[in-house]
């Protein structure tokens, strides 16, 4: 029996028992669509987790701080040498495979005043050459240059941080702050502009620090939505070092040699990794050097484990439906053998081989699985579309910088895998009936009425 005759006979047999075939295919449709929809909810959950984490900052950036050799050991020796962040550290980090860029960070904080409005603001000193590599996205202006003097780039959320500290709270008006055009004053005096100033003489009878005021030049505003960078101001790192020195001088701080050595280093170093899949590997290498290192991918990995567990449970629920469908296919093919016993006997008498009979039954069961898979994919796509449409009205949508995250996501590979798997289930389910048909005696089969 050639392949063309086998296909023609198999399709005719399925069509001859339309109702039974339809009900069996329907079982496969329910099982396939259940698995796809359940898994698609898991994929949507993973994407939602990823988008929520990305709102907090870049997943490719590792934050490094000073640490101790052997810090991860339970019984850490406190006398062990502290690993400082300095130029040697930057060189060592940049040599790690997968690292795209490295930048140091120095931070100080003060008060930013705009007329009667003010806010407490942290200023981060960064290397202007590396700002583009670390995803500083502009909404207005430009990024910093190494030659800038008292130039600043404000985060996108800074304008929303201002308030009137002298206001009693009645008749409150939302301050309208223009970080570019307004005359902003920065100072380390936290009481500047406040009507509730503290005493002018300290306990040691020395005068209060005579802090300077600074008028920064606003050269750029970062885009809103990046909450990791949005609440800071950014200046060239050398400028921030000068501000810290002037602050210490105003306060009369006597800096010890150890403190001066520490200040020559950096408080934090940011490491940009070119591939998100290498972040954990690079992070581990940095920790092995004796530094503390963390990244947002730590949270993402934890969320992925949770979503994988939930997805496995959801997929298992759908798999039960497909298992029931597989039993239905087996039952249909076994019943077909009883009804077609005489037909099988005649096929053997006229020369059909055992392999032909086996292939015929496997073809029929495989087609049931394939048809069910195709229809199941179509129904699951429809259900996914409906779920995503209804999600906003039910409060289930998650909106991030890239727009709304879908609740149900059906990747193309899942569509192809579902059709292949349902066909495979059909073939496996038809194996026992096909084997049974092969073992029928031709003479006994012909005598069967």
Condensed to tens digits (0 to 9), the pLDDT of residues 124-134 reads 999 898 888 88
pLDDT at 271: 92
Does residue 79 surpass a pLDDT of 50? Answer: no
Name residue, tokens 């890239």: 402
Higher-scoring residue by pLDDT: 380, 346: 380
pLDDT at 110: 93
* Average pLDDT for 320-332: 79
Other Cβ atoms less than 10 A from the Cβ of 403: the count is 10
Give the integer Cα–Cα distance in Å for 315 and 317.
Answer: 5
Position 402 confidence tier, pLDDT thresholds 50, 70, 90: very low
Q: Which of 396, 410, 103, 391 is nearest to 271 (CA)?
A: 103
Contacts of 440 (CB under 8 A, 6+ apart): 337, 341, 344, 345, 348
Higher-scoring residue by pLDDT: 439, 294: 294
Percentage with pLDDT > 70 across the chain = 78
pLDDT at 142: 92
Give the integer Cα–Cα distance in Å for 411 and 375.
Answer: 17
| DSSP symbols for 174-230 | -----TTTS--EEES-TTTT-SS---SB-TTSPBPP---EE--EEEEEEPTT-TTTT
Does residue 398 surpass a pLDDT of 50? Answer: no
Does residue 232 surpass a pLDDT of 90? Answer: yes
Give the integer Cα–Cα distance in Å for 30 and 22.
Answer: 12
Query: If residue 88 lies in a helix (H) or strand (E), which one and from where to where?
Result: helix 87-94
When the pLDDT of each residue in the chain is averaged and rounded to a whole number, the result is 79
Position 338 confidence tier, pLDDT thresholds 50, 70, 90: low
Does residue 99 surpass a pLDDT of 70? Answer: yes
Percentage with pLDDT > 90 across the chain = 15
Give the integer Cα–Cα distance in Å for 115 and 247.
Answer: 23
Query: If residue 122 lies in a helix (H) or strand (E), which one and from where to where?
Result: strand 117-126
pLDDT at 152: 93
Two tokens at 249?
């001088």
pLDDT at 1: 61
237-273 residues labelled b (16+ CB within 10 A) or e (exposed):
bebbbebbeebbeeeeeeeeeeeeebeebbbbbbbbb
pLDDT at 234: 94
Q: Which of 117, 177, 180, 193 is nearest to 152 (CA)?
A: 180
Does residue 87 surpass a pLDDT of 60? Answer: yes
Helix axes 354-390, 3-16, angle to 10 degrees: 60
pLDDT at 400: 45
Choose from 168-172, 269-273, 390-394 the range with maximum mean pLDDT: 269-273
Higher-scoring residue by pLDDT: 145, 199: 145
Condensed to tens digits (0 to 9), the pLDDT of residues 12-56 reads 877 888 888 888 888 888 888 888 888 888 888 878 777 766 666
Condensed to tens digits (0 to 9), the pLDDT of residues 159-190 reads 989 988 877 665 556 788 889 888 899 999 88
pLDDT at 78: 46
| DSSP symbols for 131-144 | TGGGT--EEEE---
Position 202 confidence tier, pLDDT thresholds 50, 70, 90: very low
Position 236 confidence tier, pLDDT thresholds 50, 70, 90: very high
pLDDT at 254: 62
Rg (CA), the chain: 35
Note whether 172 and 166 are within 8 A (CB).
Answer: no
* Average pLDDT for 238-262: 75
Ramachandran bin of 39, using left for φ above 0, alpha for ψ from -120 to 50, beta for the remaining angles:
alpha
When mean pLDDT is compared across 6-20, 183-197, 199-213, the lowest value belongs to 199-213
């Amino acid at each position: 029996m050639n392949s063309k005759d086998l296909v023609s006979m198999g399709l005719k047999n399925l069509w001859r028992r339309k109702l039974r075939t339809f009900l069996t295919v329907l079982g496969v449709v329910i099982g396939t669509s259940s698995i796809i929809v359940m898994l698609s909810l898991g994929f949507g959950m993973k994407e939602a987790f990823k988008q929520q984490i990305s709102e907090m900052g870049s997943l490719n950036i590792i934050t490094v701080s000073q640490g101790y050799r052997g810090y991860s050991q339970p019984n850490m020796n406190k006398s062990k040498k502290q690993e400082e962040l300095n130029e040697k550290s930057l060189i060592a980090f940049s040599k790690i495979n997968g690292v795209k860029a490295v930048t140091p960070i120095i931070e100080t904080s003060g008060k930013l005043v705009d007329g009667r409005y003010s806010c407490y603001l942290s200023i981060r000193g960064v290397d202007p050459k590396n700002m583009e590599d670390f995803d500083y996205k502009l909404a207005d202006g430009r990024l910093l240059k190494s030659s800038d003097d008292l130039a600043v780039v404000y985060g996108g959320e800074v304008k929303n941080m201002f308030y009137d500290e002298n206001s009693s709270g009645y008749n409150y008006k939302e301050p309208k702050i223009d970080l570019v055009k307004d005359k902003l004053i920065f100072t380390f005096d936290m009481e500047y502009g406040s009507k509730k100033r503290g005493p002018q003489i300290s306990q040691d009878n020395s005068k209060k620090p005579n802090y300077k005021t600074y008028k920064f030049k606003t050269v750029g505003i970062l885009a809103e939505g990046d909450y990791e960078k949005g609440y800071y101001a950014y200046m060239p790192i050398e400028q921030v070092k000068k501000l810290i020195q002037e602050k210490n001088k105003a306060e009369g701080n006597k800096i010890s040699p150890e403190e001066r050595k520490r200040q020559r280093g950096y408080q934090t170093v940011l490491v940009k990794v070119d591939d998100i899949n290498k972040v954990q590997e690079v992070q581990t290498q940095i920790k092995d050097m004796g530094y503390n290192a963390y990244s947002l991918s730590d949270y993402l990995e934890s969320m992925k484990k949770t979503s994988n567990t939930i997805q496995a449970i959801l997929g298992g629920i759908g798999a039960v439906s497909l298992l029931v469908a597989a039993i239905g296919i087996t039952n249909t093919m076994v019943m077909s053998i009883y009804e077609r016993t005489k037909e099988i006997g005649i096929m053997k008498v006229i020369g059909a081989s055992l392999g032909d009979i086996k292939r015929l039954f496997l073809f029929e069961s495989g087609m049931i699985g394939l048809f069910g898979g195709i229809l199941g994919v179509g129904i699951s796509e429809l259900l996914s579309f409906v779920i995503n449409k209804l999600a906003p009205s039910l409060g289930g949508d998650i909106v991030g910088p890239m727009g709304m995250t879908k609740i149900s996501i059906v990747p193309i590979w899942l569509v192809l895998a579902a059709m292949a798997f349902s066909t495979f289930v059909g073939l496996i389910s038809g194996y026992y009936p096909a084997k049974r048909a092969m073992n029928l005696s031709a003479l006994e089969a012909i005598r069967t009425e």
